[in-house]
Amino acid sequence: MNDALRAALSETGHTTESLAERVGVDPKTVGRWLSEGRIPHARHRVSAAEVLGRDVSDIWPDTSRRRDPVWFRPWQEIEREAVALRWFESLVLPGLLQTEAYARAVLAGAGLIPRSDIERHLTTRLNRQGVLRRDDPPQFTAVIDEAVLRRPVGGRETMHEQLLALVAACAEPHIRVHVVPSSVGAYAGLNGPFVIAQCPDHRLAGYLDNQVQGQVVSDVDDLAAIMAAWENVRGEALSHWQSVDLITEVAETWN
């Protein structure tokens, strides 16, 4: 629940209907900002704050607190504004779909983050998931290797909870998950994870991760290579609903 937004509405005399009219969204959308704590698109955040005479950071503080490393900020801005995200992972689940317990286990297990900083990085990762809960979320398509479902990250309880949460996420109309079955031999995904973002102006941007820091890719030839890799991994994967059945089946093995 967004108490700051509720207080701003009360103090200014605005209603969900009047704010929706001024911002140009449906009143139900403003209701979701209030009751579900959803983070609006950047342009709607700015418009709403102007109507209410507040700073954006007063109403949606998590969007302005910079807990993320400097090198990651360009990609985070791209991710936040994207209209579509294509994500491939061979070792762990995409960060936008991770539960708190799973994400904590991933961050702790990497061994690259000081123990004192794990909670800070965890908060950043969980806050990023707001892009999938905003009023106009991107179309999110993930391809994961079956090994991701069977790797005991955080233990049996964490895996069971995580895979059930993944199945629930797959019920959302803007989220699609495809699993590359273990029967597939060599394929492009063995070269490592990547993300492709489609921006509002239809430009594409890529993101490659490594042991030290990530890299934003914008070169045309590099993007063409990443798109070719995407076509390969997507072609090897099961359909969305076949994948959901497999995820559900594997979830029970962790129970």
Please report the DSSP string for 63-127 in residue order. Answer: GT---S-GGGHHHHHHHHH-SEEEEEESSS--GGG--HHHHHHHHHHHS-S-GGGHHHHHHHHHH
Least confidently predicted of 68-77, 105-114, 211-220, 230-239: 68-77
Residue 65 has pLDDT above 70, yes or no: no
- Specify which of 38-52, 65-79, 167-181 reaches the highest per-range mean pLDDT: 167-181
pLDDT band at 38 (very low <50, low <70, confident <90, very high): confident
Give me the pLDDT at residue 205, please.
95
Give me the pLDDT at residue 43, please.
74
Strand order of the β-sheet with 215-217 is 175-180, 139-145, 84-89, 194-198, 204-208, 215-217
3-state secondary structure of 21: helix
Give me the pLDDT at residue 112, please.
62
Beta-bridge mates of residue 194: 88, 208
pLDDT band at 111 (very low <50, low <70, confident <90, very high): low
Region 213-235: mean pLDDT is: 93
- How far is 7 from 75, CA to CA, in rounded Å? 33
Count how many residues are written for the chain. Answer: 255
Give me the pLDDT at residue 73, please.
77
Q: How open is the CA angle 103-80-77, to the nearest 5 degrees?
A: 100
Give me the pLDDT at residue 47, please.
85
Give me the pLDDT at residue 32, please.
86
* Residue 132 burial class via C-beta count within 10 angstroms: exposed 0-12, middle 13-18, buried 19 and up: middle
39-44: Cβ within 8 A, 24+ apart: 39/63, 39/130, 39/131, 39/133, 39/134, 40/134, 40/135, 41/134, 41/135, 41/136, 42/80, 42/81, 44/135
Say which residues have a Cβ less than 8 Å from residue 150's Cβ, sequence separation at least 6. 250
Give me the pLDDT at residue 211, please.
62
For 215-225, what is each residue's pLDDT tens digit?
899 999 999 99
pLDDT band at 105 (very low <50, low <70, confident <90, very high): very high
Residue 3 has pLDDT above 90, yes or no: no
Region 44-65: mean pLDDT is: 78
Do residues 142 and 166 touch, judged by C-beta distance below 8 A? no
Residue 117 has pLDDT above 80, yes or no: no
- Specify which of 51-65, 79-93, 126-140 reaches the highest per-range mean pLDDT: 79-93
pLDDT band at 119 (very low <50, low <70, confident <90, very high): confident
Higher-scoring residue by pLDDT: 115, 15: 15
pLDDT band at 71 (very low <50, low <70, confident <90, very high): low
Tokens of 77: 């801005």
